[in-house]
């Protein structure tokens, strides 16, 4: 039996290594959502509400320097490891740059690559790792669901050691677990603001042009008018349901919807599915000694993305029957 493992660190390294070839700690400061406050909170609108102004000033000074260092380190690392023969997302972009690939009306440049990587870092990786932590927390609180999803994965895998995307497609209950996690714990509780183009009415209220609208998906996922027993973690609620997360069902909008739907939706979904499948296949997960299910803390940290306020610590026990 292993010592306690911080799920926050374990799950965070899966998607970053998978897509960018680096570990999460290498870019933690760069991908902090506070660096993007300017896109969500107008400069002159909040005063010093809960320290937002100070956070914004700090991020505006530090963010460009941090980005430069992290990007250059990432590019140098991939240059050194290019001879190994494998190609990840960053290698692909760098190859397209060398080949002078045309994107839109101009060649792909290093600045384009940096912008793409920042979108990936914020929109795809940190939110995916947050989802994995909440999923493991909910499964730890619900041993029945934990046993059911592990049985599904292990029955699908048999004695094989590597989980493929074809295997993931067959894991129906795992997909329900992830949907239920997104319902209760959307990583971004407020979608990116939308600006009203023309005047319209909602329930007797006139919404004027230029108004910024915020959609609170956290509240939508817990609406008792839409969901039965909304505070319960119950993946089975999606059995026979056509609700998906592609922006067509307004009951469940972890990625938003419309033309501005999250560009990392498919990548993020794949990383969550593969990450959780591997964690649940290769290990049994137990609570630390002297800890009961009722003791699990599910308090949310405030922020633009909502993670657990305290680390999730579980005991991994290696699964040897494969």
Q: List the structure tokens of 158.
A: 């048999």
**Which residues are part of a known binding site?**
262
DSSP state for residue 107 in the 8-state scheme: E
Burial class (CB in 10 A: 0-12, 13-18, 19+), 190: middle
**Which residues are part of a known binding site for heme?**
262
Separation in Å, CA 230 to CA 189, 298, 308: 16, 15, 19
Burial class (CB in 10 A: 0-12, 13-18, 19+), 14: buried
Which residues are bridge partners to 202 per DSSP? Answer: 205
DSSP 188-234: SSBPPPEE--S-EEETTEEEPTT-EE--BHHHHHT-TTTSSSTTS--
Tens of pLDDT, residue by residue, the chain (322 residues): 345 555 555 555 555 555 445 444 544 554 455 544 455 555 555 444 455 455 555 555 555 565 666 667 777 777 766 666 667 778 888 888 888 888 777 888 888 888 877 776 666 677 888 999 999 999 999 999 999 999 999 999 988 888 988 999 999 999 999 999 999 999 999 988 889 999 999 999 999 999 999 999 999 999 999 999 999 999 999 999 999 998 889 999 999 988 778 877 888 898 899 999 999 999 999 999 989 999 999 999 988 888 999 989 999 999 987 6
How far is the C-alpha of 80 from the C-alpha of 68, rounded, in Å?
A: 18
CATH code at 5-318:
1.10.630.10
200 contact partners, CB below 8 Å, separation of at least 6:
206, 207
Give the dihedral sign, CA 124/125/128/134: negative
Q: Comparing C-alpha atoms, which of 162, 122, 126, 168 is closest to residue 15?
A: 126
Separation in Å, CA 40 to CA 34, 56, 85, 194, 260: 10, 11, 41, 10, 15
Q: Which long-range contacts (CB under 8 A, 24 or more apart) does 172-177 make?
A: 173/148, 173/149, 173/235, 174/149, 174/273, 174/276, 174/277, 174/280, 175/238, 175/273, 176/235, 176/236, 176/237, 176/238, 176/239, 177/135, 177/138, 177/139, 177/145, 177/149, 177/235, 177/276
pLDDT score of 66: 57
Domain layout of the chain by residue ranges: 5-318
Separation in Å, CA 96 to CA 85, 87, 141, 174, 292: 16, 12, 46, 35, 52
């Amino acid at each position: 039996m292993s010592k306690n493992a911080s799920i926050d660190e374990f799950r965070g390294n899966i998607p970053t290594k998978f897509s960018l070839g680096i570990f999460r700690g290498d870019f933690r400061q760069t991908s902090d959502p506070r660096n993007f406050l300017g896109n969500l909170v107008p400069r002159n609108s909040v005063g010093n509400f809960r320290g937002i102004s100070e956070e914004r000033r700090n991020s505006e000074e530090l963010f460009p320097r941090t980005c430069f260092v992290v990007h250059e380190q990432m590019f140098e690392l991939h240059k050194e490891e290019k001879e190994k023969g494998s190609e990840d997302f960053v290698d692909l972009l760098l190859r397209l740059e060398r080949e002078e690939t045309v994107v839109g009306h101009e060649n792909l440049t290093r600045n384009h690559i940096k912008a793409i990587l920042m979108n990936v870092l914020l929109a795809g990786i940190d939110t995916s790792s947050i989802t994995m932590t909440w999923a493991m927390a909910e499964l730890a609180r619900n041993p029945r669901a934990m046993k059911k999803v592990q049985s599904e994965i292990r029955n699908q895998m048999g004695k094989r050691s590597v989980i493929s995307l074809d295997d993931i497609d067959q894991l129906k209950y795992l997909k329900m677990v992830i949907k239920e996690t997104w319902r209760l714990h959307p990583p971004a509780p407020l979608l990116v603001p939308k600006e009203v183009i023309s005047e319209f009415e909602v329930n007797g209220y006139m919404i004027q042009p230029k108004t910024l609208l915020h959609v609170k998906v956290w509240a939508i996922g817990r609406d008792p008018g839409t969901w039965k027993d909304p505070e319960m973690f119950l993946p089975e609620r999606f059995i026979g349901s056509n609700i998906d997360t592609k922006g067509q069902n307004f009951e469940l909008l972890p990625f938003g919807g419309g033309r501005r739907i999250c560009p990392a939706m498919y990548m993020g979904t794949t990383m969550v599915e593969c990450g959780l499948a591997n964690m649940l296949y290769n290990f049994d997960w137990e609570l630390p000694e002297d800890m009961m299910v009722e003791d699990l803390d599910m308090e949310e940290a405030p922020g633009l993305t909502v993670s657990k306020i305290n680390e999730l610590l579980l005991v991994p026990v290696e699964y040897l029957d494969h």
